[in-house]
Structure 1
Amino acid sequence: MTYRFIGYAIVSEDGMLADAGGTIPPALIVKADQDFFMRGLDAAAALVHGRNSAEQPTSPVRRRLIATRQVATAEPVAGQPHALHWNPQGVPVETALARLGVADGNVAIIGGTDIFGLFLSKYDVFHLTRASDARLPGGRPVFPGVPDRTPEAVLAATGLQPGEARMLDAERGVHVVTWCGPLATSGINASPR
């Protein structure tokens, strides 16, 4: 089994992915980023997210692990044949993915904070989009330890290296930087087109 763990997040200038109440504000909803994100999800064999992450219109047809402490290991989600509830402390992600019927491929990690933090030692690629015109003081950080450290400092500490910033929305100053590990250059399509 060969999985490639790829993170996707859009954050405010201060490293937040939602406000203090867990709501994604309009300032972090950027069409070009949403398009980039959806292309990444389309290329993924499975998604991993927390139980409070926003559902996408295409969620019911995607293979998904929904992280929760409400189950012991991994259990089917009622009425959702392509999803499993998964307890990260109960069973390794690779085991849960195999139970989901995913033997290999890209696995998109799409949040929230605890889930992004859980995979810090596993990322092959992390696409970090910044909305430089948005600030969310007291919001929900992308990684544990933010804002004491920047999201970039957290990613660098894992050994990932940043690529060039690509502008997604010049008017708003929204850009994405793809952070890659050493294996990401050996055949992994790090950047969805």
Structure 2
Amino acid sequence: MLYRFIGYAIVSEDGMLADIAGVIPPSLIVKADQEFFMRGLDAAAALVHGRNSAEQPTSPLRRRLIATRKIPATAPAGDNPNALLWNPQGVPVDDALNRLGVQGGDIAIIGGTDIFGAFLPRYDVFHLTRVPDVVLPSGRPVFPGVPAQSPETLLKTAGLAPGMAQSLDPERGITVVSWRRGEA
């Protein structure tokens, strides 16, 4: 089984995914980023996210692991055969993906904070979109350790290197940088 773990996050200037209440403000919703994100999800063999991540209209159609501490290992996610509840402490992600019927391919990691942090040692690629004109004091950070350290510092410490910034919204200065493992 060969999996490629690919993270997707859009963050504020201070590295936050959402405000203090866990709500993604409209200022962090960028059409070009949403299109980039959806293309990534469409190409993924499966998704991994926390139980509080926002549902998309296509969520029930996608294979996905929903991380939760409320079960010992894995369990059905209601009546959705494409989803499996997964306790990261109870069973390795590779085993959980196998139980989901995913034998390999790109696995999209889409949050929240603890899930993004848990995969730092395993990312092959992490697409980090920055919105420079938004600050969310005491918000929900992309990784544990933010804001004391920047998301970029944590990605670099985990062995990833930045590629060239791609402009998503030149007027607002919004860019996405794809951090890759093993690049200089």
- TM-score, normalised via structure 2 length: 0.98
Measure, in 1, the Cα distance between the counterparts of 2:96 and 2:52. 19
Deviation at 1:131, TM superposition (A): 0.5
What stretches of structure 1 of length at least 5 have no aligned partner?
186-193
Please name the residue that 1:112 is paired with: 112
Partner residue of 1:18? Answer: 18
**How many equivalent pairs are there?**
184
The 5 Å alignment of 1:69-88 reads 69-88=69-88
Alignment of 1:31-180 (within 5 A): 31-180=31-180
1:133 deviates by: 1.0
Return the offset for 1:143: 0.3
Q: Report the Cα distance in structure 2 between the residues aligned to 1:4 and 1:113, rounded to whole angstroms.
A: 20
Mapped to 1, the partners of 2:95 and 2:16 lie a distance apart of 31
Q: Report the Cα offset of residue 79 of structure 1.
A: 1.7
Which amino acid is the alignment partner of residue 41 of structure 1? L
- Runs in 1 of length 4+ with deviation above 2 angstroms? none
Quote the Cα distance in structure 1 between the aligned partners of 2:86 and 2:11.
Answer: 25
SS in 1 for 2:165: strand
Return the alpha-carbon distance in structure 2 between the equivalents of residues 103 and 81 of structure 1: 16
Tell me how far 1:30 sits from its aligned partner: 0.3
Paired residue for 2:4?
4
Deviation per CA, 1:7-28: give whole Å up to 9, x if none: 0000000000000000000010
Cα distance in 1 between the residues matched to 2:67 and 2:78: 15
- Give the Å deviation of 1:162: 0.1
User: Does the residue aligned with 1:153 lie in a helix, a strand or coil?
Assistant: helix
Q: Aligned partners of 1:81, 1:101: CA distance in 2, in Å?
A: 10
Q: d(CA) in 2 for partners of 1:99 and 1:171?
A: 45
Q: Which amino acid aligns with 1:120?
A: L
Give the stretch that moved more between structures: 70-79 or 33-42: 70-79
SS of structure 2 residue aligned to 1:164: coil
Shift of 1:81: 1.0
- Report the CA distance between 1:80 and its aligned residue: 1.0
Superposition deviation, residue 171 in structure 1: 1.2
1:82 Cα deviation after fit? 0.2
Unaligned residue ranges in structure 2 (runs of 5+): none
- Paired with 1:102 and 1:142, the residues of 2 have a C-alpha distance of 26
Cα distance in 1, alignment partners of residues 85 and 172 from structure 2: 37
CA distance in 2, matches of 1:180, 1:118: 17
Comparing 70-79 and 35-44, the one that deviates more: 70-79
Question: Over aligned residue pairs, what C-alpha RMSD do you find?
Answer: 1.1
Distance 1:129 1:69 in 2: 28
